[in-house]
Amino acid sequence: MPITNNVTRFLDAHKTSYIAHELPAEKLGAMEAAQYIGAPAEQVFKTIVTTREKKKPVLAVISAMQVVDLKALAAFLGEKKMSLPTEREAEALTGLQAGGISPLALINKGFLVALDFSAQAHEQIYISGGQRGLDIQLRVADLIQLTHARVGKIGKPLSNVER
């Protein structure tokens, strides 16, 4: 039986076409998730919680092949500085487990979503479904519309050491 959660119910309620992909329940990185579901790594996106001074955190959505470019993200958002919280802090800020943090699960929670422009090279991408063990494949245009994502150059390629 397919996984049903708040994200899938939200997508169903908004009549948004998607495909749910079940993954192992343990925390997988975006590269591992891509391998598991047989998707190109550049189409599997991860949500990275970033913080800014005295404002709600930003959800940076970048490809499995990237890391967040904090300077580029700050410039894109007109902020002085952006930083990365620890995994535990990210979980506390979002109320979601690392590996299951998703902009779709945090709609109407006041988070700004920044999507790397590389997503627009694809009609569909894969993102977390709001819990470990679930990735959602959906149209990039639908993700942008539903989350009111701002699209910009916020990621940089992984170095060979990070791969």
- pLDDT tens readout for residues 147-162: 999 999 999 998 755 5
What percentage of the chain has pLDDT greater than the value 90? 87
Per-residue confidence band for 138, with pLDDT thresholds at 50, 70 and 90 = very high
pLDDT in tens, 95-120: 999 999 999 999 989 999 999 999 99
pLDDT (0 to 100) of residue 162? 53
The predicted model scores a pTM of 0.94
Q: Residue 74 is which amino acid?
A: A
- Measure the CA–CA gap between 83 and 68, rounded to whole angstroms: 10
pLDDT (0 to 100) of residue 73? 97
pLDDT (0 to 100) of residue 7? 96
pLDDT (0 to 100) of residue 29? 87
Mean pLDDT for the stretch of residues 42-57: 94
SS3 22: strand
pLDDT for 124 beyond 80: yes
Is 104 exposed, middle or buried (CB count within 10 Å of its CB: 0-12, 13-18, 19+)? buried
Decide which of 3.30.930.10, 3.40.640.10, 3.40.50.1820, 3.90.960.10 is the CATH code for 19-156.
3.90.960.10
Mean pLDDT for the stretch of residues 118-139: 96
Mean pLDDT for the stretch of residues 22-26: 88
Average pLDDT, the chain: 94
Tell which residue, 51, 86, 60, has the closest CA to residue 153. Answer: 60
